[in-house]
Amino acid sequence: MPVIYDTEASALLAPAGAAVSSDTTYPVVTAQAHRLPTAVWAINVTTSVATGSYTFILEAADVEAGPFSQIARLDWPSGRTGAHQVALGASASVARAVAGSSRVRYLRVRALLGGASPSLTWRSWLGKPGGSPGVGSKPNSTLDSL
């Protein structure tokens, strides 16, 4: 399975404008996460219904069919829009340790929705941090804290 890249050469996990109103597991991407330097998992929500509840989960496996292990989780506030980045650690060591493998080749992202009539539009990608060390931000970017 080929890696999908966005314009900034980051592994794209959920395409721009991905609109969901129920639990969704996105297709597996071959990201060779075990070879990444310090990485960030980025999430950008452009619309979010205030009556819903939203959880994003990043999972990793060493084979495409799984089993997949959760390596990161982000609970998103209802009704909030914006971007957030989750640091994955130096050399993707978190991914390797949690997945129990020295080679984390496959990644996928899941959106879990709950509450009354949940709906959101979002995108997600895995990339290299830029800008200030330790915050995983790119120069001139705005990061919201949750």
Within-domain flag for 142: no
| 121 belongs to a structural domain | yes
Tally of domains within the chain: 1
Tell me if 143 is assigned to some domain. Answer: no
Cα–Cα distance, 29 to 116 (Å, whole number): 31
Residue 138 lies in a domain: no
Is residue 68 assigned to a domain? yes
H/E element holding 145? none
Residue 3 lies in a domain: no
Low-confidence ranges of the chain (pLDDT < 70): 1-11, 31-38, 89-103, 128-146
Question: Is 26 a domain residue?
Answer: yes
Q: Supply the CATH number for residue 62's domain.
A: 2.60.120.1110
Contacts of 65 (CB under 8 A, 6+ apart): none
Report residue 20 CA to chain centroid gap. Answer: 15
Asked, for residue 146, whether it belongs to a domain, the answer is no
pTM more than 0.85: no
For residues 77 and 96, give the distance between their C-alpha atoms in angstroms, rounded to a whole number. Answer: 29
67-100, pLDDT tens digit by residue? 888 888 999 999 999 988 888 764 455 555 555 6
Host domain of residue 103: 11-127
